[in-house]
């Protein structure tokens, strides 16, 4: 069960595989308890590899081996050796067919890696190293083979049998069982293998590609979920169209399938032609899913679909290159979502996530480069750094090249590397070769961990009518990387005059000014100066527009300048960011001095924003959202858990009381009665209305409470319903309890909605929350075996409820460590993710540090820890 082998794997040890696999013929006799797997592999020695000892070493875990044959000759046990994680066959020929037969048990598989049971269906998850739990194989992404899959199963239980590629055969056998065969013509690494067996129904559609290929589209779900697939199907077709238009990428099989499963460790998986999804990212109806859920589905459907080119046709040479496919694919899905909805709001959401989680990871003991150098368990490296920071690296390269050259570079990448397993360096080389840009220094972004700090100073000289920017960059050290070198990055900026107009910018030495607007400067040095000429009046700089690089920006704006930017900056992102900085300053002042006075000018700026009828309500809702407690903590030398919570409550209450009438008006104005629409305007209106309600309830406003109860009772969409429920639970006393109970009654048959019921309670700042969470652990609807449920209760409490998780008595920490120890034997991946809530222990006060550390040590002392949890816990203490 346990993988007690905490030896790290190093990038520097990469060697090409000694053997290659040309074709794979798999035959499964499916059964929940005992599934038999026969694998026929056409193997040959890799001419590009150095010759080893002549033995063949295949990966395999938890397999019951029945037989091994070479070229159809059964081997005797003396001819091979079985170890806990491999099968070694002595002195094999240069080219041969290997046939193995094994038995596995899907119903016993609680780790959800390999072949497992979810509800009544059987499904697989092979990334990163799950295929070795299905059969003996060379389980590494640079071994790409053509797969044929035959599935045999009981017709009643498993009427639908799916695998990768195109359907080739389906028939009933003499014994009444059913057989289905699938052929995938594209060579792929085994992490992209998938199969599904179950009593499923499909929503069907069609898509004609740009070159005229007809593709059948199917989304498979359990029968009662057929009415929740429309949005996923729409998102799929939009993704297919978008990838053709923006990247010239067409789909390449006759059929594209998505299957929704209820037990899944991550979001979804891009298996060739057969994407398997956490049902949370497929199923949605306006009354069951929030706007955020709908947007999540659109983004994840696109992400997995885009992997068909960035990940599947071109894959990773080894797992250190994970960001090759993930960084690029996240960048692609972010841009897709920006095109489908509101670009500005999408960028804000992405940066919020990056700052809240990736910056925190970069400042933690788990900090690692986008291309890590070593790992103990690769599953621990599906991180915000590899994904989101990786996407920022692609975004910066796109900015440095400009749109035309970037498109040429991606065309080159697809042409040059189709069918290969490559590295992030190969990707950057395509960017260079197609554009002529030198990205030599830029490559440091892939190998250097940590978040750079940009310190910028501006100096205006009236006499010479110049404005000088001095820019300094440095990156704080991270574990194992004490010294950092300067990075190459795009700094997008504008200078605004007193009316907020953008100046035409001319740098000293240039013949003419660039047209008014945003200008991108390239930074390379630890310190650089830029002098703009023809600037008679002191301007207000709008820096790092659109968040042009993943850095922490320091510029000494006055409050007045921030309010000016908040009102006038033509860059929506920077308008939002100015408001965030302003609120952050005020909040940190309140942390230091709870009696600090909130300046009139702050309320005035807030009121003015609220009054902006012409503005985009979605952007306004973002502007009016206070920075998260965790993000505020990140700005302090020592996280003041209670001080931050108190400061945020104080400010929310003050806003709610001072701007009461305006907030009530905003709530009423956006209370849409019509049918549910998923346009950016409608989403924005709901967000704004619910923000307004939030401030009113924080202030204990009676009219606000009445409106909230009415909204909860009348809501016809989940966004309004859950917003009201959350506010009632946090501020509504008895009304909160009643709302919880009626919500439960109404939604007890919908697991994804019940997840929300658990989360709302787990994230409440009420003092009795931990006790409630512990009670909910015993609720008949709770199960440690369902990752969504674990995340919605335990994960939500530990990661989204700082004031209760970090309770001074250490009860939250103890609770977490207990859950990790309980969960680890069942599902190491999910346990290791939970464990991360403790890794930033050094950021807290001495008393909390001691409590957190003690819990990490308690986990480490446990007898048989998984590699997953071991790695996180051990790194936390390094
Ligand atoms: N490649 C998937 C993410 C994924 C990774 C691992 C999984 O199981 C351990 C599952 C999914 C993606 O980027 O969507
Ligand atoms: Zn991905």
Q: What is the DSSP string of 527-560?
A: EEEEEEES--S--EEEESTT--SS-EEEE---HH
**Are the beta carbons of 562 and 578 closer than 8 angstroms?**
yes
Of 266, 300, 386, best ligand 1 pocket probe by most atoms within 8 Å of the beta carbon = 266
Of 130, 131, 281, 382, best ligand 1 pocket probe by most atoms within 8 Å of the beta carbon = 382
The residues carrying an active-site annotation are 304
Separation CA 739–CA 779 (nearest Å): 18
> How sure is the predictor about 671, in pLDDT bands with cuts at 50, 70 and 90?
confident
Separation CA 167–CA 274 (nearest Å): 12
CB of 330 sitting under 6 A from ligand 1: no
Position 841 pLDDT exceeds 70: yes
Rounded average pLDDT over 566-595? 97
Does pTM surpass 0.80? yes
- Determine the angle formed by the axes of helices 291-306 and 230-247, rounding to 10 degrees: 50
The closest alpha carbon to 368, from 392, 386, 388, belongs to 386
Position 1 pLDDT exceeds 90: no
Position 674 pLDDT exceeds 90: no
pLDDT tens-digit map of 96-120 = 999 999 999 999 999 999 999 999 9
Indicate which atom in ligand 1 lies nearest the CA of residue 300: 14
CB of 391 sitting under 6 A from ligand 1: no
What's the gap in Å between 326 CA and the centre of ligand 1? Answer: 9
Position 486 pLDDT exceeds 80: yes
**Residue with CA at minimum distance from ligand 1 atom 13:** 326
Indicate which atom in ligand 1 lies nearest the CA of residue 329: 13
pLDDT tens-digit map of 651-670 = 999 999 999 999 999 999 98
> Which pLDDT score, from 0 to 100, does residue 3 have?
43
Position 535 pLDDT exceeds 70: yes
Rounded average pLDDT over 493-514? 96
What's the gap in Å between 694 CA and the centre of ligand 1? Answer: 35
Ligand closest to 306 (CA) is 2
Indicate which atom in ligand 1 lies nearest the CA of residue 265: 8
Separation CA 794–CA 796 (nearest Å): 5
CB of 194 sitting under 6 A from ligand 1: no
**Residue with CA at minimum distance from ligand 1 atom 5:** 127
Rounded average pLDDT over 502-517? 96
Tell me what ipTM this predicted complex has: 0.98
Helices (H), 56-108: none
The closest alpha carbon to 297, from 311, 313, 285, belongs to 285
| Mode of pairing for the β-strands spanning 19-29 and 146-153 | parallel
Separation CA 689–CA 721 (nearest Å): 12
**Are the beta carbons of 197 and 161 closer than 8 angstroms?**
yes
CB of 382 sitting under 6 A from ligand 1: yes
CB of 268 sitting under 6 A from ligand 1: yes
Indicate which atom in ligand 1 lies nearest the CA of residue 304: 14
Separation CA 344–CA 388 (nearest Å): 17
- 21 strand-pairing partners: 43
> Which pLDDT score, from 0 to 100, does residue 5 have?
56
pLDDT tens-digit map of 385-437 = 999 999 999 999 999 999 999 999 999 999 999 999 999 999 999 999 999 99
What's the gap in Å between 479 CA and the centre of ligand 1? Answer: 26
> Which pLDDT score, from 0 to 100, does residue 315 have?
99
What's the gap in Å between 785 CA and the centre of ligand 2? Answer: 24
Ligand closest to 330 (CA) is 2
Q: What is the 3-state secondary structure (H, E, C) of 295-320?
A: HHHHHHHHHHHHCCCECCCEEECCHH
> Which pLDDT score, from 0 to 100, does residue 54 have?
85
What's the gap in Å between 678 CA and the centre of ligand 1? Answer: 28
Q: Per the structure block, which two tokens stand in for 561?
A: 């300048």
CB of 269 sitting under 6 A from ligand 1: yes
> Which pLDDT score, from 0 to 100, does residue 2 have?
41
**Are the beta carbons of 676 and 717 closer than 8 angstroms?**
yes
Ligand closest to 833 (CA) is 1
Indicate which atom in ligand 1 lies nearest the CA of residue 326: 13
What's the gap in Å between 780 CA and the centre of ligand 1? Answer: 29
> How sure is the predictor about 595, in pLDDT bands with cuts at 50, 70 and 90?
very high
What's the gap in Å between 55 CA and the centre of ligand 2? Answer: 35
What's the gap in Å between 127 CA and the centre of ligand 1? Answer: 6
**Residue with CA at minimum distance from ligand 1 atom 6:** 127
Ligand closest to 310 (CA) is 2
**Residue with CA at minimum distance from ligand 1 atom 1:** 269
Rounded average pLDDT over 176-188? 98
Indicate which atom in ligand 1 lies nearest the CA of residue 311: 1
Separation CA 243–CA 352 (nearest Å): 26
- 543 strand-pairing partners: 493
Q: Which residues of 80-115 are buried (b: 16+ CB within 10 A; e: fewer)?
A: beeeeebbebeebeeebebbbbbebbbeebbbbbbb
CB of 125 sitting under 6 A from ligand 1: yes
pLDDT tens-digit map of 596-645 = 999 999 999 999 999 987 888 999 999 999 999 999 999 999 999 999 99
Rounded average pLDDT over 737-762? 98
- List CB-based neighbours of ion ligand 2 within 5 Å: 326, 329
């Amino acid at each position: 069960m346990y993988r007690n082998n905490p030896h790290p794997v190093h990038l520097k040890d990469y060697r090409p595989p000694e053997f290659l696999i040309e074709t794979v013929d798999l035959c499964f006799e499916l059964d929940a308890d005992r599934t038999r797997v026969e694998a026929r592999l056409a193997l040959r020695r890799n001419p590009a590899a150095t010759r080893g000892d002549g033995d063949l070493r295949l990966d395999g875990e938890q397999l019951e081996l029945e037989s091994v044959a070479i070229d159809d000759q059964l081997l005797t046990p003396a001819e091979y050796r079985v170890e806990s994680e491999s099968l070694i066959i002595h002195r094999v020929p240069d080219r041969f067919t290997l046939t193995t037969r094994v038995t596995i048990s899907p119903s016993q598989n609680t780790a959800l890696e390999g072949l497992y049971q979810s509800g009544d269906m059987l499904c697989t998850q092979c990334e990163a190293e799950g295929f070795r739990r299905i059969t003996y194989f060379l389980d590494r992404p640079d071994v790409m083979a053509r797969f044929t899959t035959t599935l045999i199963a009981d017709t009643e239980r498993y009427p639908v049998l799916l695998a990768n590629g195109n359907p080739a055969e389906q028939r009933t056998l003499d014994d009444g069982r059913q057989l289905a065969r699938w052929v995938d013509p594209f060579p792929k690494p085994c992490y992209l293998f998938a199969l599904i067996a179950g009593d499923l129904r499909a929503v069907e559609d069609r898509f004609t590609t740009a070159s005229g290929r007809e593709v059948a589209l199917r989304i498979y779900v359990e029968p009662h979920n057929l009415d929740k697939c429309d949005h996923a199907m729409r998102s799929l077709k939009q993704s297919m169209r978008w990838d053709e238009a923006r990247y010239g990428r067409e789909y390449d099989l006759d059929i594209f399938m998505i299957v929704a499963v209820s037990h899944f460790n991550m979001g979804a998986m891009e298996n060739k032609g057969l994407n398997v999804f956490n049902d949370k990212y497929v199923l949605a109806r306006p009354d069951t899913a929030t706007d955020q859920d709908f947007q999540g589905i659109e983004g994840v459907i696109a992400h997995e679909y885009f992997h068909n080119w960035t990940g599947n046709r071109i894959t990773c040479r080894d797992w250190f290159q994970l960001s090759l496919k993930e960084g690029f694919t996240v960048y692609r899905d972010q841009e897709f979502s920006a095109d489908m909805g509101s670009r500005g709001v999408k960028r804000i959401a992405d940066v919020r996530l990056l700052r809240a989680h990736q910056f925190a990871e970069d400042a933690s003991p788990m900090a690692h480069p986008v291309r890590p150098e070593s790992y103990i368990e690769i599953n621990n490296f599906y991180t915000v750094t590899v994904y989101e920071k990786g996407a920022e690296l692609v975004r910066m390269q796109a900015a440095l090249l400009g749109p035309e050259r970037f498109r040429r570079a991606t065309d080159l990448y697809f042409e040059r590397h189709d069918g290969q397993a490559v590295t992030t360096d190969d990707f950057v080389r395509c960017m260079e070769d197609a554009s002529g840009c030198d990205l030599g220094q830029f490559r440091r972004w892939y190998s250097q961990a940590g978040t750079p700090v940009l310190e910028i100073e501006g100096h205006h000289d009236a006499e010479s009518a110049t404005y000088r920017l001095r820019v300094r960059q440095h990156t704080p050290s991270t574990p194992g990387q004490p010294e950092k070198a300067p990075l190459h990055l795009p700094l997008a900026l504008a200078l605004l005059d007193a009316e907020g107009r953008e100046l035409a910018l001319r740098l000293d030495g240039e013949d003419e000014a660039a047209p008014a607007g945003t200008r991108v400067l390239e930074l390379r040095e630890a310190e650089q100066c830029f002098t703009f000429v023809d600037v008679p009046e002191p301007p207000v700089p709008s820096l790092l527009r659109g968040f042009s690089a993943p850095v922490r920006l320091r510029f000494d704006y006055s409050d007045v300048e921030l309010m000016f930017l908040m009102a006038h900056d033509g860059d929506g992102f920077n308008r939002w960011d100015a408001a965030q900085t302003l609120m952050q300053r005020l909040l940190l002042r309140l942390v230091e001095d709870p009696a600090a006075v909130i300046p009139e000018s702050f309320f005035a700026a807030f009121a003015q924003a609220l009054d902006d009828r012409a503005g985009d309500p979605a952007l306004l809702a973002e502007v009016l959202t206070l920075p998260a407690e965790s993000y505020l903590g990140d700005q302090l030398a020592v996280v003041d858990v209670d001080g931050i919570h108190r400061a945020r409550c104080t400010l929310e209450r003050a806003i709610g009381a001072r701007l009461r009438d305006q907030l009530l008006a905003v709530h009423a104005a956006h209370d849409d009665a019509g049918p549910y629409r998923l346009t950016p305007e409608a989403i924005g209106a709901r967000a704004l209305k619910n923000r307004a309600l939030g401030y009113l309830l924080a202030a204990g406003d009676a009219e606000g409470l009445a409106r909230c109860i009415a909204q909860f009772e009348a809501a016809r969409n989940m966004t309004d319903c859950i917003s009201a429920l959350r506010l009632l639970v946090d501020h509504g006393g008895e009304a909160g309890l009643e709302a919880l109970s009626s919500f439960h009654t109404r939604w007890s048959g919908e697991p994804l909605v019940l997840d929300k019921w658990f989360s709302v309670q787990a994230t409440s700042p009420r003092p009795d929350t931990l006790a409630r969470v512990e009670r909910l652990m015993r609720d008949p609807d709770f199960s440690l075996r369902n990752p969504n449920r674990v995340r919605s209760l335990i994960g939500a409490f530990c990661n989204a409820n700082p004031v209760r998780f970090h309770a001074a008595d250490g009860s939250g920490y103890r609770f977490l460590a207990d859950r990790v120890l309980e969960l680890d034997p069942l599902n190491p991946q999910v346990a290791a993710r939970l464990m991360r809530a403790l890794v930033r222990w050094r950021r807290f006060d001495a008393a909390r540090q001691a409590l957190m550390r003690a819990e990490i040590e308690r986990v480490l002392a446990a007898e048989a820890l998984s590699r997953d949890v071991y790695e996180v816990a051990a790194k936390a203490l390094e």
